């Protein structure tokens, strides 16, 4: 199946996807395809999630001996786990990425592929971004069937969300560049944080409630799941 998770920039898409990858890799082979960050940056985030050591401390190498020990153990756990990361920040060509995923699948029989994120990929030969995105979404749906796995793709939302009234929870129409994403996806969900829009309100800097809003679901119900988001450790 193809699952699309949409959100505005800096809402917490990557943090959500990394947590999803870590949890899923306890039982299944997972490939995390990243088009925005290097493997080092992804590893730093993972180590923060796994150890509870603040991400800034890991980035700036300001660690106590005890924290360093926790990180060493976590690195060992990650190497033994069913999680694989693939950085494509230097080549975002859609067909190139599909070929790389296929190679990984031949080695590891992937069950879940997470792509961060859709519109960073490019496919040549299309007159508009809309057609290009629609082609990639349809191709990913077929690809999920071909590999017999679940592909989770992150997607940006357009700016219309920002101009809406009091309730800024995303709708299907907010998916950027294409209604084709909605058509191809088995599930479409959105991430929403109220504090993201409360610019003038004093808020808890490090902790936030994030809503996972399911707007389309071919094999289940719609609804909202509320999650806690600890920003310090992602």
Q: pLDDT tens-digit profile of 87-120? A: 887 888 899 999 999 999 999 899 999 998 888 8
Q: What separation in angstroms does the CA of 187 have from each of 5, 7, 75? A: 8, 14, 33
Among 14, 29, 40, 19, residue whose Cα is nearest residue 153: 14
Would you call 141 helix, strand, or coil by DSSP? helix
Work out whether strand 207-217 and strand 187-192 pair parallel, antiparallel, or are unpaired: antiparallel
Mean pLDDT for the chain overall: 88
The answer to whether the beta carbons of residues 2 and 153 sit under 8 Å apart is yes
d(CA 62, CA 225): 35
DSSP E strands in 104-200: the ranges are 112-116, 150-156, 187-192
CA angle 223, 224, 230 (to 5 degrees): 165
Q: What separation in angstroms does the CA of 231 have from each of 45, 48, 116, 203, 205? A: 11, 10, 19, 13, 8
Give tens-digit pLDDT for 182-213.
889 999 999 999 888 877 655 557 888 999 99
Place of tokens 């995923």: 101
State mean pLDDT over 142-148: 94
Give tens-digit pLDDT for 34-85.
888 888 888 888 889 888 889 999 888 889 999 898 898 888 887 778 888 8
Residues contacting residue 163 through CB under 8 Å, at least 6 positions apart: none
For residue 176, pLDDT beyond 80: no
Check if 36 is active-site. yes
- Between residues 201 and 218, the one the model is more confident about: 218
Q: Say if residue 157 is preceded by a cis peptide, omega within 30 of 0.
A: no
Q: Which of 36, 182, 194, 211 is catalytic?
A: 36
Residues contacting residue 86 through CB under 8 Å, at least 6 positions apart: 31, 32, 33, 34, 100, 101, 104
């Amino acid at each position: 199946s193809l699952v699309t998770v949409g959100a505005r920039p800096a809402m917490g898409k990557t943090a959500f996807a990394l947590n999803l990858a870590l949890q899923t890799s306890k039982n299944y082979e997972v490939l995390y395809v990243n088009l925005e960050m290097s493997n080092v940056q992804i590893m730093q985030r993972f180590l923060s999630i796994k150890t509870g050591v603040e991400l800034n401390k890991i980035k700036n190498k300001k660690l106590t001996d005890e924290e360093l020990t926790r990180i060493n153990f976590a690195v060992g756990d990650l190497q033994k786990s069913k999680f694989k990361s693939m950085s494509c920040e230097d080549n975002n060509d859609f067909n190139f990425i599909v070929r790389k995923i296929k190679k990984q699948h031949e080695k590891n029989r992937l069950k879940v592929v997470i792509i961060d994120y859709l519109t960073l990929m490019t496919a040549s030969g299309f007159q508009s971004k809309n057609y290009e995105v629609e082609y990639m979404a349809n191709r990913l749906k077929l690809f999920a069937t071909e590999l017999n796995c679940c592909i989770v793709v992150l997607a940006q939302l357009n700016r219309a969300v920002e101009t809406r009234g009091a309730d800024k929870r995303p709708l299907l129409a907010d998916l950027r560049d294409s209604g084709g994403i909605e058509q191809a996806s088995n599930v479409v969900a959105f991430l929403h944080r109220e504090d993201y829009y409360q610019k003038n309100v004093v808020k808890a800097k490090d902790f936030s409630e994030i809503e996972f809003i399911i707007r389309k679901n071919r094999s289940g119900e719609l609804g909202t799941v509320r999650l806690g988001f600890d920003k310090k450790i992602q």
